[in-house]
Structure 1
């Protein structure tokens, strides 16, 4: 048994197709991204676009009614959307990893049930798994369980069709992954997400009050088997693509603003800001760094396809190689996007700081999401492995 339905690599035209789909959705989102960010409302209409476009079902194997795409296509879609709307890109990125838990934690017999239902309903999967907030407990109740507790930072749960939940089983030294539909009795969405950026990512808290969990709702145990734990590097690779997309979007917007400026600085001897050597130098530096971030991210998108395709043959050493490689991509994209989103103001001038311009959206989004987990610990993973061969303990962050 392969333990994976993603046994092939992308066909030559697969990226071209899904890139085009994502670009169309991104263009629709871009039209009012700033106004929607300011309104800070639940992104219902935006998520409908993900469903209608096919992006929500891209990663579901074709035999179950999905788009039959590979991981690199899904990750590229996240990047493309992040150029226009990083909040919606975040929801999509998390969705891919959440519904892939059908495979990572579930037995093969469960795949048809959950993937088919997801494809038919064009479900979006939110999550309630935040590992630094482990206050969810499953208590045995007949053949099933009762779920109780509070979980913060539950991205996409309040807007998703179903939520992936990870909770400790009372009296047992294990954590189980289960699926809970949005409207199940006892699930309370607190709508308390109010952050500097990523405002439409639906990342508020969820409280579970004596929620009934049937045996069939449980996917399986969250353990440390090498293949199943690829989910965490997958999440981190989604972050890298998200950050790269934000950097790319900031550069595009900065170019528009620079070309739209009148004249040149009074001490310059050129006729327009776009011909000022200092302006050109900043763009050149930021473009080069973004290109480097793109190269390492594309490399690990492809390597992740290959690792996933190996299924049960993935070894602990394989998993460590993927972890370290993706950690490198996470470091580079984090620092590149933060620098780009900050320094584009240097070349767009004081007028670009006006609220209605919206250049701040890129900085607010990248500054907010890069706080998800400390990038210094990614540097530690990479440096320790290089010097001593050490590999960090497997967690939902490493």
Structure 2
């Protein structure tokens, strides 16, 4: 898939038709669903039927075998019209990747195969910053089982999911991550997500009440952030966010352009006879395009670096992983800034009529503002400064 948003001069990927069909379906209802909030069950089922939930799964497990740059292109395409569904789609693939990075092939291979066969949608209840859930050794068989109890916040996509990535801390403070069916006894998903943006990500609370997690469901071999290859997980998460932000910025620019060409009027002091010839308006569009073009180039470079690192698997070194982290951090900062600038500045070129609630053009800014607070961008800039000045690579955490 061509990364500039058009595919006229390259061979289209085999999933192109499905991506465009889903995109049209999401766009048709995006405004109404942004207002309604809640779980987008119809749209989630649209993704299930499309086969795109198997996009990142290797062909040997029945999936499409797409590289990460291709998966992220689809995330970005969805985000142009509906960033909530782009978020859920992307996190589904992130969670599948997590099982491959933190777990053993005897675990993740059957999960991937069942995801294809059963059209599973994966949900998230990991959130390593939230220590509100406790893992206690269980007397249940098999030996080595745990029970998870407590609450997890920011559990994107847990509602209407089939499988759940859950985490809890044991008495020694060790993070344990398990893969369990969402329907398992003791799991309650609360309908308490009502934020101003990302309205249909269902990023609310999951409650665990003595939920049994067996040894075969725990991702302990090699475990979280245990090797340079396992430490690619946070970089994939950050790269997903960058592509969502870039898609939102591109979607905002597209909406602004359409409105400017069709409905905007030149200001009374402007010598231009139409808004699209006003020099100030042209200047704004030049700034928008330049910011997004730079962010796009950095994001695509980071995706290419990530794919190369992914292919290295267990041979990946700390230094190689660190250089990918720098590329991803640069993309994250650039897309954050560009996206917010365009989503805010678009009203300078569309005018007062564009603020009507019927269009809900503010959803681009609201979605970006909520999502870009996922982790402070200032700390990404600090990491880049430490690299530029001291040549120190970022230390792996769940956010870097």
Match of 2:6 in 1: none
Contact in 1 for aligned 2:340/2:365 (Cα 8 Å): yes
Give how far 1:386 is off.
Answer: 1.8
SS in structure 1 at match of 2:208: strand
SS in structure 2 at match of 1:177: strand
Match of 1:323 in 2: 325
Match of 1:5 in 2: none
The CA distance in 1 between the partners of 2:224 and 2:11, in whole Å, is: 32
| Correspondence for 1:52 among 43, 49, 67 | 49
Match of 1:339 in 2: 341
The CA distance in 1 between the partners of 2:392 and 2:264, in whole Å, is: 55
- For 1:178-207, what per-residue CA distance to the aligned partner results, in whole angstroms no more than 9, with x for missing partners? 112111111111111111100001101111
The CA distance in 1 between the partners of 2:344 and 2:226, in whole Å, is: 39
Contact in 1 for aligned 2:165/2:180 (Cα 8 Å): yes
| Correspondence for 2:280 among 272, 278, 282 | 278
Give how far 1:299 is off.
Answer: 1.0
Report 1:375-386 matches (<5 A): 375-386=377-388
Report 1:247-258 matches (<5 A): 247-258=249-260
Match of 1:64 in 2: 61
Q: RMSD of aligned C-alpha atoms?
A: 1.6
- For 1:360-393, what per-residue CA distance to the aligned partner results, in whole angstroms no more than 9, with x for missing partners? 1101100110011000000011111221122333
| Correspondence for 1:96 among 84, 93, 118 | 93
Show structure 2 runs of 5+ residues with no match: 1-8
Does residue 109 in structure 1 map to residue 106 in structure 2?
Answer: yes
Contact in 1 for aligned 2:325/2:394 (Cα 8 Å): no
C-alpha spacing 1:276/1:24, structure 2 compared with 1 (3 Å):
same
C-alpha spacing 1:164/1:369, structure 2 compared with 1 (3 Å):
same
Does residue 122 in structure 1 map to residue 124 in structure 2?
Answer: no
The CA distance in 1 between the partners of 2:340 and 2:174, in whole Å, is: 38
The CA distance in 1 between the partners of 2:99 and 2:264, in whole Å, is: 55
Contact in 2 for aligned 1:297/1:329 (Cα 8 Å): yes
Match of 1:6 in 2: none
Does residue 167 in structure 1 map to residue 168 in structure 2?
Answer: yes
| Correspondence for 2:316 among 292, 314, 317 | 314
The CA distance in 2 between the partners of 1:54 and 1:287, in whole Å, is: 33
Does residue 387 in structure 1 map to residue 389 in structure 2?
Answer: yes
Match of 2:200 in 1: 200
Match of 1:8 in 2: none
Give how far 1:397 is off.
Answer: 0.8
C-alpha spacing 1:194/1:263, structure 2 compared with 1 (3 Å):
closer
Contact in 1 for aligned 2:326/2:394 (Cα 8 Å): no
Contact in 1 for aligned 2:92/2:123 (Cα 8 Å): yes
C-alpha spacing 1:262/1:202, structure 2 compared with 1 (3 Å):
closer
Report 1:202-217 matches (<5 A): 202-217=202-217
| Correspondence for 1:131 among 128, 132, 143 | 128
